Amino acid sequence: MTKFILEFGRDFYFVGRQRRITIDKEDYYIDLLFYHRKLRCFVAIELKLGKFKAEYKGQMELYLRYLEKYEMDEGENPPIEIILCAEKSKEHVELMLLNEDKIKVAEYMTKLPPKELFEEKLRKTMINAQVKREE
């Protein structure tokens, strides 16, 4: 997955896999952490088996707040989180207002579409994130 994301261009920088963060003496692990140069923010990616669950939002909010408090430098934008699940659970996402948040949920496929299609979808997602950030 890391190699695949890095193929999207020179703006993604790999920060860590299973990046450990410690909060109140308890360890947590961010699956994949990148930095996007043009967006000037961290992009955390969580990989989940099965369908989206409501508790994932709380976990991701904790990670985002940690990154904001301890990892962001002055002038950077707040981090964004992408949760990749086997099933998106559209009503959960809608009711939890995740489309309006810094947390995005997407489905992964067991068989990847052509690279060009996937690149285009990722570019559109990043553009949408930039537009929302500027609003």
Cα distance between residue 10 and residue 8, in whole Å: 7
Q: pLDDT tens digits, residue range 100-117?
A: 667 778 777 667 678 888
Measured in residues, the chain has a length of 135
Q: Which of 132, 74, 75 is nearest to 103 (CA)?
A: 132
Q: What are phi and psi of 29, to 5 degrees?
A: -135, 120
CB neighbours of 128 closer than 8 A, spacing ≥ 6?
Answer: none
- Reading the chain (135 residues) residue by residue, the pLDDT tens digits are 556 665 556 788 889 999 999 999 999 999 999 999 888 999 999 988 888 888 988 999 999 999 999 999 999 999 999 888 888 777 877 778 766 667 778 777 667 678 888 788 778 877 877 776 666
Task: Name the residue ranges covered by the structural domains of the chain.
Answer: 2-134
Question: Tokens 């890095």 label which residue?
Answer: 6
Architecture of domain 2-134: 3-Layer(aba) Sandwich (3.40)
Paired tokens of 7: 């193929």
- Say what the pTM is: 0.71
